[in-house]
Amino acid sequence: MTKHTMVLALAASLMASTALAGDVRMMWYSDGVEGEVMKDLVARFKAENPGINLILDEVAYKVVQEQLQIQLEAGQGPDIARVTNIKTLAPHWLDLTPHLADPAYWRTNFGAHADWMRVDGSDAITGFMTQLTLTGGFANATLFEQAGVALPGKGATWDDWVNASAEVAKSQGTAAAFAIDRSGHRMTGPNVSYGANYIGADGKPAPVDAGTKAFAEKLVGWVAGGQMLKDTWVAASGSTYRAAADDFINAQIPFYYSGSWQIANLSTKIGDGFDWVATGSPCGTAGCSGLAGGAALVAVKYTANPTEVAKVMEFFAREEIVKEFSERTLFLPAHAGVAAKGGLNWQTADKNVGAALDVFVAASADILPAAAALPAWKWASPVYGALVNRISQVMAGELKLDEAFAKIDSDIAEQVAAAK
Amino acid sequence: MSAVGTFLTRRRGGDRWDWTDIVTFLWLGAGVFIMFGPALWLVLSSFKSPAQLSEFPPTLLPYEARTAVVEGYDKPLPLFVVTDDSGTRTLAEVRRVGTIAQMVDPENPATMERINIANRTPDRAVGFSWGNYLDPFLRFDFLKYTQNSIFVTGVATLITLLTNSMAAFALSKYDFRGRNTVVVLIIATLMIPLSVILVPLYSIVSGVGLINSLWGVILPTVATPTGVFLLRQYMLTIPDELLEAARMDHASEWQIYWRIVLPLTAPALAVLAIFSVVWRWNDFLWPLIVLSRQEVYTLQVGLNAYAGELNVQWHYLLAMTVITMIPVVLVFVFLQRFITAGIAGTGLK
Amino acid sequence: MAQVGAWVGAVITAPLRGFARLLDVPLRVWQRLAGQNGMAAFFLLPNMAIFGIFVLFPLGLNIAYSLTSGGALFLADRNFAGLGQYQRLLTCADYTNLLSCQEDQFWTALGNTALFVVVQVTALIVLATATALILNRELRARSFWRAVFFFPVLLSPVVVGLIWRWILDRNGVLNAGLVAVGLDPVNWLLDRNFAFAAAVGVTIWAHLGFFALILLAGLQAIPRDLYEAAEMDGTRPARVFWRITLPLLMPNMLVVIVLALIRAVQVFDEAFVLTGGGPGTATLFLTQYIYEVGFASLLKNPGLAAAASILMGGVLVVLTLLQLALGRRNERKAKLK
């Protein structure tokens, strides 16, 4: 026995002793109240299944985003995790199919998003979306009313929205007309609305096309012209995420482009401060597309207890559990049955919430194919990263637009080459 | 202690104020404002509600909206100060439709007034959101996290003090071949930020089976090059003659280290102890990687469960930050006396 | 309080003292067998063993990483790439134009870091020395004042960054103050120079107490009679500072300079939380670049990050060697005296 194998054996025995039979560990991050809701549900699961010791490890999102991958590549990690980076990490997910009592239920109700969380060409069932998200806009209806400006209606373009908001901003003296979160993901829906398609014929990233260029040029112009809040994008570098939600909450911008996940946040923090409405995505030349996404609960293939893991997953994928979870967290459900039946009884007294959720549900019909393909495309994240990194440099006056486009192409090409 | 004075401290010409006194006065005054101000503000902010935290302009003190129970309405109604043509008064809001608020006088709830919302401001009183502090304790096992944090901080600090002082002793008081190489090696590694060697370090820690173990947090941090460097520089100032005299008296090398060098290094050890406690208590990046099971969470890892992808629950995070600050502040208040005592007692001149 | 402290200290150290006595006998035997060098080895062993396993070994691995390519995180799964990563970092089509570099942001980060180190370390040392001198005066409630300046050291870097972001942000306290006195709010963090200065200022704010304390310890160890003698000779205060205080403070000053340099080069958390590297890339520092490339992005490139860190480490080692040589010269001078 060499030293090396001894160390390995020792490590293996130590690890084996920590993973007791029947233990299932679930790694969970929270944006809002979902951790508390989950705690309730976990308690209910344990009462129903006394033999399975389900442990909820609540972590920072940073752990899921940056450290989970390290653990997974070492063949470790939790048994189940709530993850957003589901496509890139797909090789680590467990195929639940042989362990499920009713795989057909999963294919019917969660089949639409199954490709988001499995490797290309596979038909595995690896988990389900805990919630769907869709990017879209929010307008401060009260500010619009005070300014005497009508809210742009359906089919209004980005220019319409920005001009109307600018008028409101001018009359009400707000800091700017609108803001988009600092994120490549957030500007992708608008890009696609102007005809962009990131995916090349070979499935690899295509060079920056006319659609992306069109919207990027507008966006840069709006920052230079003062319509778009400058700090959101300029006061950070790299792919750092910055949200402009607080400015919308403070009525500093009449229009805010973010996504459905903000609803609960806006509701708590705005309260009765003003009326706000969801607007869906403004239109471009090709359509009025947002970008879908969300977080999934997936099983990890390094688990020692796949049967128990499947039991846990089956519990949380139940129709009534999904319904309750969505109602309490104000998340859009990904369960086809729940979504089709509708009639969700949102657990809130805020009248703005239900209306906003309905708008997002309706807006999901407007997603263009080029945007619909992105969540299941494994090169999406380097493209988002390069976009936000370089375009904010243009806004800061460090680059010209064409230089930025050239840099975006070369950044992405390098990342794709480096990932081989 | 007050006897320790420098030339600069003497007021020149007796009671007359020297420019150095004015500089001192200004410096200390600005110090209190700049150093304490932000921290005080952090503490005050930790009592604010989520909505108040994202408010502009921010208020110094936490406020809560005042409400009033008005006859004919089940729930307490929020109060507003209304200023318009008919003067300034306090009204309760029944509901708001667009830019028009329907309000009543709490004293006379029969007549409903229609007020433009531009003419009203919420009537608020100072109020503390204690929930920021209470909720996390109900939701998480902070007692366990605190235990883990104390264990990590205590054990790591003890090991750091012992191993670093031993190494520093060898590097400052012995002449052996390769001594300078070791010193350079240690200092060179001082330079490498942890974030740079995360992945290799993780593979090693997982190789020896210390993932999700508190020892996996402790061991990689205790051989701090900073500590060795700090102690070595300090030990260099201890005269070799003291050691030679002890050797004449047949003291063993271990005794020399333990009975002579270590007590003389007390001030530097106290400094290192404070820093070690602060560092280990605040350690975040590395524990976050090693510890992903709640029973081994330290406080810093536990409280970061409030940092989500798209939203961070600042009100909880701030409150818990304030709580986690208390022990370090206590340790400092407690240990800083040792520094002065240590310096005065060493007879180091 | 001090008595309680002494008592607690005695309780903590009692078992340690017993332990030390137990160790004495076997160690005497070892000393006889192995001699002075053996004892040096004994004293070094625990620290160097831990150091070797958890610092040196990963560093070695890091060099290996820098010679590989691919997205895999563990060495065994990676492809050998020779010096490819270094080449990518250092190649520019035209060395007069930053944009033509393959990794233009690496160069930006390098330049920013260099400037930051120079400005921050200089300012920090001047301020820390001044603070230490003032705290060394005959003050009432000296421990309170010392605590005032030390206090921020107790905060975690992330908290430091956040506090100041809330102050300097467009919606921050500073602007609220400006509005209150009737001025227009300023978008502080959108100004390149101000954002850079803010990064410098906040890191100084956070670490000033640490360095002032080390310097203060040095000042207090300076024998009082030296000053008394100087006063009797009627020496001017400035001359006393340059001729007595500073030379005798040198050992501590050296510690401060080296540690300050290291901290400055590694600047990350506070600045990252405060400015996020912006506006544009005005405060993008090396550690943030490495973090972005190696960890934060979803497609991680550990090879490139490792290569960048090794280039950074190389520069640092040279800096340290210079410092040490300087220190050794001083030591020798001190011995001659």
Distance CA C79, CA C70 (A): 6
Q: How far is CA C247 from CA B5, B51, C35, C219, C330, in A?
A: 18, 55, 36, 11, 9
- Whether residue C232 lies inside any domain: the answer is yes
Model pTM?
0.82
Answer yes or no: is pLDDT of A11 > 50.
no
On whether any CB of chain A is under 8 Å from the CB of B77, the answer is: no
Element of type H or E holding C166: helix C157-168
Q: How far is CA C287 from CA A193, A325, C276, C292, C313, in A?
A: 37, 40, 12, 8, 11
Answer yes or no: is pLDDT of B21 > 90.
no
pLDDT value of position B293? 84
Sign of CA dihedral B229, B234, B239, B244: negative
pLDDT value of position C69? 83
DSSP symbols for A153-180: -TT-BHHHHHHHHHHHHHHHT-S-SEEE
- What is the domain extent for residue C169? 96-336
- pLDDT tens-place string over residues A198-225: 999 999 999 999 999 999 999 999 999 9
User: B199: which chain A residues are within 8 Å (Cβ-Cβ)?
Assistant: 70
Q: What is the mean pLDDT of residues B120-136?
A: 82
pLDDT value of position C5? 54
Answer yes or no: is pLDDT of A4 > 70.
no
Q: How confident is the model at residue C9 (pLDDT cuts 50, 70, 90)?
A: low
Q: How confident is the model at residue A152 (pLDDT cuts 50, 70, 90)?
A: very high
Q: Which two tokens stand for residue B101?
A: 């608020």
- pLDDT tens-place string over residues C88-125: 888 888 877 877 888 888 899 989 999 999 999 999 99
pLDDT value of position B198? 74
pLDDT value of position B345? 39
Which of 309-328 (C) contact B at CB < 8 A?
Answer: 309, 312-313, 316-317, 320-321, 324
- Whether residue C119 lies inside any domain: the answer is yes
CB B318 within 8 A of CB B335: no
Q: Delineate the domains of chain A, giving CATH numbers in brackets.
A: 20-132+293-351 (3.40.190.10), 134-292+365-418 (3.40.190.10)
Answer yes or no: is pLDDT of B259 > 50.
yes
pLDDT value of position B16? 57
- Which residue type is seen at A216? A
The predicted complex's ipTM stands at 0.77
Shortest Cα distance, chain C CAs vs residue B156, angstroms: 12
On whether any CB of chain A is under 8 Å from the CB of C274, the answer is: no
- pLDDT tens-place string over residues A35-69: 889 999 999 999 999 989 999 998 888 888 878 88
CB B80 within 8 A of CB B101: yes
- Whether residue C78 lies inside any domain: the answer is no
Top residue of A232, A237, A390 to mutate, by most chain C CBs within 10 Å, is: A237
> CB A262 to CB B207 under 8 A?
no
Distance CA A227, CA A161 (A): 11
Answer yes or no: is pLDDT of B348 > 50.
no
DSSP symbols for C121-137: HHHHHHHHHHHHHHHTS
Distance CA A143, CA B21 (A): 56
Strand pairing report for A255-259 and A127-140? antiparallel
Residues of A130-144 as b/e, b for ≥16 C-beta within 10 angstroms? bbbbbbbbbbbbbbb
Q: What is the CATH number of the domain that holds C137?
A: 1.10.3720.10
Shortest Cα distance, chain A CAs vs residue B194, angstroms: 14
What single-letter DSSP state applies at residue A334?
-
DSSP symbols for A383-397: HHHHHHHHHHHHHTT
- Between residues C25 and C126, which one has the greater pLDDT? C126
- The helix/strand/coil state of B248 is helix
Answer yes or no: is pLDDT of A411 > 50.
yes
Distance CA A333, CA A329 (A): 10
Find chains touching chain C: ≥3 CB pairs under 8 Å: A, B
Distance CA C141, CA C143 (A): 6
On whether any CB of chain A is under 8 Å from the CB of C279, the answer is: yes
Q: What is the mean pLDDT of residues B271-286?
A: 83
Distance CA C128, CA B136 (A): 38
Answer yes or no: is pLDDT of C126 > 90.
yes
Q: What is the mean pLDDT of residues B320-328?
A: 83
- Which residue type is seen at C248? L
Q: Which two tokens stand for residue A392?
A: 């904010």
Looking at every residue in chain C, the average pLDDT score rounds to 82
Q: Delineate the domains of chain B, giving CATH numbers in brackets.
A: 7-43 (no CATH), 63-126 (no CATH), 133-345 (1.10.3720.10)
Shortest Cα distance, chain A CAs vs residue C295, angstroms: 6
Shortest Cα distance, chain C CAs vs residue B231, angstroms: 10
**CB half-sphere exposure, C71, CA atoms < 13 A:** 17
- Whether residue C247 lies inside any domain: the answer is yes
> CB C47 to CB B167 under 8 A?
yes
On whether any CB of chain C is under 8 Å from the CB of A20, the answer is: no
Q: How confident is the model at residue B8 (pLDDT cuts 50, 70, 90)?
A: very low
Q: Which two tokens stand for residue A199?
A: 């995916």
Q: What is the mean pLDDT of residues C173-187?
A: 84
DSSP symbols for A175-200: S-SEEE-B-HHHHHHHHHHTT---B-
User: A269: which chain B residues are within 8 Å (Cβ-Cβ)?
Assistant: 50-51, 54
On whether any CB of chain C is under 8 Å from the CB of B305, the answer is: no
- Picking from A260-274, B93-107, B277-291, C45-59, which range would have the lowest pLDDT averaged per residue? B93-107
Q: Report percent pLDDT > 90 for chain C.
A: 10
User: A85: which chain C residues are within 8 Å (Cβ-Cβ)?
Assistant: 298
CB-count exposure of residue B140 (10 Å: 0-12, 13-18, 19+):
buried
pLDDT value of position B49? 83
- The nearest alpha carbon in chain C to A250 belongs to C171
- Whether residue C202 lies inside any domain: the answer is yes
- The helix/strand/coil state of C176 is helix
Distance CA B61, CA B79 (A): 19
Q: What is the mean pLDDT of residues A390-414?
A: 92
Q: Report percent pLDDT > 70 for chain A.
A: 95
- Picking from A110-114, A183-187, B278-282, which range would have the lowest pLDDT averaged per residue? B278-282
**CB half-sphere exposure, C69, CA atoms < 13 A:** 16
- pLDDT tens-place string over residues C251-302: 788 878 888 888 888 888 788 888 888 788 889 998 888 888 877 777 778 8
Q: How far is CA C327 from CA B107, B169, C120, C320, in A?
A: 80, 18, 21, 10
**CB half-sphere exposure, A357, CA atoms < 13 A:** 25
Shortest Cα distance, chain C CAs vs residue B263, angstroms: 12
Distance CA A247, CA A251 (A): 6
Give how many domains chain C has, as a whole number: 1
> CB B305 to CB A14 under 8 A?
no
Distance CA A67, CA C269 (A): 17
Shortest Cα distance, chain A CAs vs residue B211, angstroms: 9
pLDDT value of position B274? 82
Distance CA C130, CA C134 (A): 6
User: B169: which chain C residues are within 8 Å (Cβ-Cβ)?
Assistant: 43
Q: Rounded to 5 degrees, what angle do the CA atoms A255, A261, A266 make?
A: 55
Residue B293 sits at φ, ψ, to 5 deg, of -120, 135
Shortest Cα distance, chain B CAs vs residue A327, angstroms: 19
pLDDT value of position C208? 92
- The nearest alpha carbon in chain C to B40 belongs to C163
> CB A31 to CB B309 under 8 A?
yes
CB C245 within 8 A of CB C222: yes
pLDDT value of position C205? 93
Q: What is the mean pLDDT of residues C317-335?
A: 69
> CB B51 to CB A39 under 8 A?
no
Q: How confident is the model at residue C82 (pLDDT cuts 50, 70, 90)?
A: confident
In the numeric block, the tokens 């081994």 are attached to B296
pLDDT value of position B15? 53
- pLDDT tens-place string over residues A341-357: 878 888 888 888 989 99
> CB C173 to CB B162 under 8 A?
no
In the numeric block, the tokens 């679930």 are attached to A26
Q: How far is CA B7 from CA A87, B11, B26, B341, C227, in A?
A: 69, 9, 20, 22, 6
Looking at every residue in chain B, the average pLDDT score rounds to 79
- pLDDT tens-place string over residues B26-63: 888 888 888 888 888 888 888 888 877 777 777 778 88
Answer yes or no: is pLDDT of A8 > 50.
no
Distance CA C236, CA C239 (A): 5
Top residue of A63, A267, A277 to mutate, by most chain B CBs within 10 Å, is: A63
Distance CA C120, CA C204 (A): 7
- Whether residue C84 lies inside any domain: the answer is no
Strand pairing report for A292-299 and A127-140? antiparallel
Q: Report percent pLDDT > 90 for chain A.
A: 61
Closest residue to B229, CB basis, from C5, C142, C255 = C255
> CB C280 to CB A88 under 8 A?
no
